[in-house]
Amino acid sequence: MKGYSIAIIGGYPPPIGGISVHVERLIRKLDSKSMDYILYNTSKNKIKTDYNIYNVSNLKLWLIKYFFCCRDKIIHCQEKNWYLVFILCLIKKIHKSKLVLTLHSFRENIEKFGSLKKLCFYYSIKNVDCFIAVGESEKNKLVTYGCKENKISVIPAYINPEYKETDDKLIPDCVWNFMKKNDFNIVANAFKISFYKNQDLYGIDMCIKLCFRLKKYFKNKNIGFIFCLPDIGDYQYYSKLKNKINELKIDNQFLMINEKLPLYPILQKSHIFLRPTNTDGDAVSIREALNYKVPAIASDVVIRPKGAILFKTRDMEDFYNKTVDVIENYNLYSEKLKNIKIEDNSEKLLNIYKKLSNL
pLDDT score at 305: 93
* In the chain, domain spans: 6-160+344-357, 165-339
CA 321 to chain centre: 26
Strands across the sheet containing 74-77: 53-55, 37-41, 6-10, 74-77, 98-103, 130-133, 152-154
Give the closest residue to 244 by CA, choosing from 278, 209, 199. Answer: 209
Residues paired with 297 in a beta bridge: 274, 309
Give the closest residue to 10 by CA, choosing from 88, 59, 56, 78. Answer: 78
- 309 close to 326: Cβ distance less than 8 angstroms: yes
Would 6-160+344-357 and 165-339 be classified into the same CATH topology?
yes
What's the count of helices (H) and strands (E) in the chain, helices before strands? 14, 15
Q: What is the pLDDT along the chain (359 residues), one digit of tens a residue?
A: 577 899 999 999 887 788 999 999 999 999 999 999 999 999 987 777 767 999 999 999 999 999 999 999 999 999 999 999 999 999 999 999 999 999 998 888 899 999 999 999 999 999 999 999 999 989 999 999 999 999 999 999 999 988 777 788 889 999 999 999 999 999 999 989 999 999 999 999 999 999 999 999 999 999 999 999 999 989 999 999 999 999 999 999 999 999 988 899 999 999 999 999 999 988 999 999 999 999 999 999 999 999 999 999 999 999 999 999 999 999 999 999 999 999 999 999 999 999 998 75
pLDDT score at 357: 83
Strands 199-200 and 195-196: antiparallel
- 333 close to 326: Cβ distance less than 8 angstroms: yes
pLDDT score at 18: 86
3-class SS at 30?
helix
Q: What is the CATH number of domain 6-160+344-357?
A: 3.40.50.2000
Average model confidence (pLDDT) for the chain?
A: 93
Give the right CATH number for 165-339 from 3.40.50.2000, 3.30.413.10, 3.40.190.290, 3.20.130.10. Answer: 3.40.50.2000
Task: Name the pTM for this structure.
Answer: 0.86
- 359 close to 76: Cβ distance less than 8 angstroms: no
- 304 close to 310: Cβ distance less than 8 angstroms: yes
DSSP string spanning 212-262?
HHHHHH-TTS-EEEEEE-SB---HHHHHHHHHHHHHTT-TTTEEEE-S---
End-to-end CA distance of the chain: 21
pLDDT score at 1: 59
